[in-house]
Structure 1
Amino acid sequence: MKELIHIYHTNDLHSHFENWPRIRDFLKERKKWHCEEGDPVFLFDIGDHADRWHPFTEGTEGKGNVTLLNEAGYDAITIGNNEGITFSYNELDSLYDDAAFEVIVGNLLNKNMKIPQWAVPYKIYETSSGMKIGVVAVTAYFPAFYHQLGWNVTHPIDELRNQIDKIKDEVNAIVLLSHLGIRDDERIAKEFPDIDVILGAHTHHILHDGKEIHDTLLGAAGKFGYYVGHVQLEVDTDKHIVVAKKAQLYEHHELDEVDGEEYEIQNWFHKGEKLLQEPIVNLPEPIKVEWFKWSPLPQILCDALLEWCAGDCAFLNSGLFLDGLKKGKVTKYDLHSILPHPINPCVIELQGSELKEVVKQTFDEEWPHIQVKGLGFRGKIMGTFVYSEVTFNGSTQEMNIKGEPLDPKKIYKLATTDMFTFGHFFPELSRAKKEYFMPEFLRDLLAWKLKQSF
């Protein structure tokens, strides 16, 4: 006899709730439909469902996302880096208190080097035919960030090997929820023949019809809810083996419209806005921001970075700011609106000669107009740079730090944003000794500095 197992998967929604009503209703309908037909069906999310750029996620500390996953009827999820390293230790530790689904993640440990009480390293599901499906999951490896927050993260490939060794003799098929990215998924497919299906995330890749590597099927559904993935496993119930696999994607715009979806989408936004009405400061005058020339608001944040990180100097790009601040009451919502990024402060140790070359790069006339994607950036363009305790004697060749001529051999502490340490713009910063300040975001530093000043 044959059995058809249906697996629906989403990934990297990043709190783009404008696509959620249709996804939710589609998944609920499909789950009901398959259950009525007597076919096993599972709903999985592969991480980064929550992203603090959206006021609903920010205002509910991610718990609003959990409510949405509950309502859609998910069976299990894994966490992405947005859940793992943009919430404080206590926020993540309580995030899934009300979850009606399993949180599967094998390579995250708490302060006591134990699997957190809200997670399991794997889950074994059994269908009505007796077919046992083992589901394992691993998340992206960012040890410096996790350690700074109080968590411990083990290497995902090593942990995956441990988990598969534990369950491979107990199950008939293995599904991996992987928030690692396409390159690691391809490697895993080659090195782990026991895995039947890899559902991927993190690199926002799209596999319209899946991808077969050896006998492993890869599936991935892009980002922002543009797609919903569907994997079908055909099973020989007498032998309890998978005999065929198929993957496909459903595009969001092809899903049925939901009555009142625009109201729902706006309502989530307004709920978040209401939750973020805590007053921060009362400004006597507006504070402006300009992207292509010096302006006061980026300078205030740059000075705050310098002070917070106890640096010798600091720089940041004006494009981080989506807008300025108006005169009068400033709330948490206002600061979230102009600085929605999950970007942390960072201090980097550089020799004077290295620091000089890095600062010189920021004067490239093309940089302010560069469009930035990823790296936690939620703005549009880079914008011009502003500096604290960096001055020049007539040219960029004569640089002063804290009013003194730069010493090429001296070690300086540069305070800046963590996105500049990932190697995309300044390779020197990715290799240098550094310290991240977490869980504070740039908007938290701005709030702190504004309270000091006003």
Structure 2
Amino acid sequence: MEKIHIFHTNDFHSHLEHWPRIQGFLKEQREYYQSKGDENFLFDIGDFIDRWHPYTEATKGRGNIELLNQCGYTAVTIGNNEGVNLPHHDLDHLYDEAKFDVLNANLYKANGDFPDWVKPYKIYYTNQGTRIGVLGLTAYFNHLYNLLGWEITEPISELEKWLEPLRKEADVIILLSHLGITDDEKIAAHFPEIDVILGAHTHHVLEKGKVVDQTLIGAAGKFGHFVGHMTIHVNKEKVVTKKEAILYDFMEIPAPQKEEEQINDFLEKGKELLNQQVTILQEPLLSDPFHETNFSRLLCKALRDWCQTDCAMINAGLLLGSLSGVVTIYDLLHICPHPINPCIVKVTGEELEKIILETKGEELPYREIKGLGFRGTVLGVFVYEGIQFENDRILINQTVLDYEKTYTFALPDMFTFGHFFKEVLPHKHKEYLLPEFLRDLLKWELENQQ
């Protein structure tokens, strides 16, 4: 009987405050099983990088790749934070120094070829000759990938295509899935030949895995709160006889020596690399999530000017701090860490009024937001540019709103993903402006003012 150990991480999102402990633990575990003669592999299932962290932002993720190298990862797949939150050039060179495989069956160049750094799958051989077939898939954000010059294809159809050779070439099939738990369960139900699915994207926690039909699904939450470990038992006929899954809680992993020093080093390296002056403010720019300020008005103006629209809207909770004196690129990251892009929609005056009236809800500013690219806490009040209020009337650029007229309207993309303004926005065509984040617009506006 052969025991094969699979360690896995997912959705780390550059929470490097957890990395020294996890790195030490993984090295220790792998050395232990190697000493016993057991095979072991290490996979990351995407979103290892997140540009909120100064070290990731300063290195455009390449610093994170070096961390994976040091830990001896076998292979990774990409998540949306790698795929759509980096400009084309930066993603195309993210893995230049990688000492592991990047497996993804549904990411292509615009000409239909795989990028040089991607394989759809790979066969790994154990010392006893067992063939481990590993395939990767990532979430189907086709419109955003297209805007960045990539082609992303429908993952299930790619899975069907690549499973055909895998069935012939592999004794054990593992899927690295940055698709989310719902898709993972559907895949397990429809493709019983897949032995193991290592999941991600929806940040789900499966403490002992989840068995769907014959497939074992594993997932380790988010931010490095857990490390996953699966054990696969294979008999001499190369048939899987048993599969087990457990998670290790970060809080129960012993801290390495000088842990805080290592964590601080990541931060300081990033801050130093981003210590580039943008401007010198004559007056402070103040933030307040529950009141309109000169800073929130500036961000809204930057959004409208960048998008060249009739009007614009932001939420004040996007700004996580104030600025004064010398402003650096690090300062802009610190107060606006969100991977949120500008977006333009065309709406009628009647539709625009519905959106604006909804933003006036008394409870909305206090709503806590998780996900959608938002890295703050509360939504905050809404701030407008090109929209005025006079005697219970809405004006667009000092002219009374016309129900029949079509307006161009700029807003952060987080409001267009189906969770807000459901009566109007889900059905509208959206023009996403990539790769710039809101902090890039702030930098542009401050430089223009200077």
Q: 2:425 aligns with which of 414, 425, 429?
A: 429
Q: 1:318 aligns with which of 316, 319, 327?
A: 316
Residue 403 of structure 1 deviates from its aligned partner by 2.0
Instruction: Provide, for residues 259-300 of structure 1, a one-character-per-residue CA deviation record: whole Å limited to 9, x for no partner.
Output: 011100000000000000111111111111121111011111
Separation in 1 of the partners of 2:408 and 2:167? 50
Residue 166 of structure 1 deviates from its aligned partner by 2.1
Q: Does 2:408 align with 1:413?
A: yes
| Structure-1 residue corresponding to 2:326 | 329
Q: Does 2:190 align with 1:191?
A: yes
Aligned partner of residue 358 in structure 1, secondary structure? helix
Q: Does 2:363 align with 1:355?
A: no
Q: How does 1:5-20 map to 2 (within 5 A)?
A: 5-20=4-19
Please tell me the residue identity of whatever aligns with 1:136: L
Separation in 2 of the partners of 1:309 and 1:143? 22
Separation in 1 of the partners of 2:210 and 2:90? 36
Please tell me the residue identity of whatever aligns with 1:195: I
| Structure-1 residue corresponding to 2:383 | 386
- Higher mean alpha-carbon deviation, 160-169 vs 42-51, is at 160-169
Separation in 2 of the partners of 1:370 and 1:402? 29
Separation in 1 of the partners of 2:280 and 2:16? 32
Q: Does 2:53 align with 1:58?
A: no
Please tell me the residue identity of whatever aligns with 2:414: M
Gaps of 5+ in 1: none
Aligned partner of residue 208 in structure 2, secondary structure? strand
Aligned partner of residue 207 in structure 2, secondary structure? strand
| Structure-2 residue corresponding to 1:150 | 149
Separation in 2 of the partners of 1:212 and 1:22? 29
Residue 111 of structure 1 deviates from its aligned partner by 2.4
Aligned partner of residue 400 in structure 1, secondary structure? strand
| Structure-2 residue corresponding to 1:262 | 260
| Structure-1 residue corresponding to 2:399 | 404
Gaps of 5+ in 2: none
Separation in 1 of the partners of 2:3 and 2:430? 51
TM-score (norm 1): 0.98
Q: How does 1:39-438 map to 2 (within 5 A)?
A: 39-237=38-236, 239-326=237-324, 328-395=325-392, 398-427=393-422, 428-438=424-434
Separation in 2 of the partners of 1:133 and 1:276? 42
Q: 2:438 aligns with which of 437, 442, 448?
A: 442
Residue 430 of structure 1 deviates from its aligned partner by 2.5
Aligned partner of residue 250 in structure 1, secondary structure? strand
Please tell me the residue identity of whatever aligns with 1:316: I
Separation in 2 of the partners of 1:79 and 1:444? 24
How many residues of Structure 1 are paired with residues of Structure 2 in the alignment?
Answer: 449
Instruction: Calculate percent identity across the aligned residue pairs.
Output: 50
Residue 137 of structure 1 deviates from its aligned partner by 0.7
Residue 392 of structure 1 deviates from its aligned partner by 1.9
Separation in 1 of the partners of 2:315 and 2:107? 33
Instruction: Provide, for residues 345-394 of structure 1, a one-character-per-residue CA deviation record: whole Å limited to 9, x for no partner.
Output: 00011122111101110001111111111000000111111101111221
Residue 408 of structure 1 deviates from its aligned partner by 1.4
Separation in 1 of the partners of 2:316 and 2:255? 39
| Structure-2 residue corresponding to 1:22 | 21
Instruction: Provide, for residues 3-33 of structure 1, a one-character-per-residue CA deviation record: whole Å limited to 9, x for no partner.
Output: 0000000000100111111111111111111
Aligned partner of residue 356 in structure 1, secondary structure? helix
Residue 315 of structure 1 deviates from its aligned partner by 0.3
Instruction: Provide, for residues 412-441 of structure 1, a one-character-per-residue CA deviation record: whole Å limited to 9, x for no partner.
Output: 111010000011122222321110111100
Moved runs in structure 1, 4+ residues, more than 4 A? none
Instruction: Provide, for residues 101-126 of structure 1, a one-character-per-residue CA deviation record: whole Å limited to 9, x for no partner.
Output: 00001100112221110111001011
Residue 257 of structure 1 deviates from its aligned partner by 1.3
Residue 400 of structure 1 deviates from its aligned partner by 1.4
- Higher mean alpha-carbon deviation, 251-260 vs 264-273, is at 251-260
Separation in 1 of the partners of 2:395 and 2:389? 6
Aligned partner of residue 4 in structure 1, secondary structure? strand
Instruction: Provide, for residues 169-226 of structure 1, a one-character-per-residue CA deviation record: whole Å limited to 9, x for no partner.
Output: 1111110000010000000001111101000000000000000010000000000101
Separation in 1 of the partners of 2:5 and 2:229? 7
Aligned partner of residue 219 in structure 2, secondary structure? strand
Separation in 2 of the partners of 1:426 and 1:65? 36
Instruction: Provide, for residues 118-172 of structure 1, a one-character-per-residue CA deviation record: whole Å limited to 9, x for no partner.
Output: 1110010111111111100100111111111111100111111111112111111
Please tell me the residue identity of whatever aligns with 1:422: F
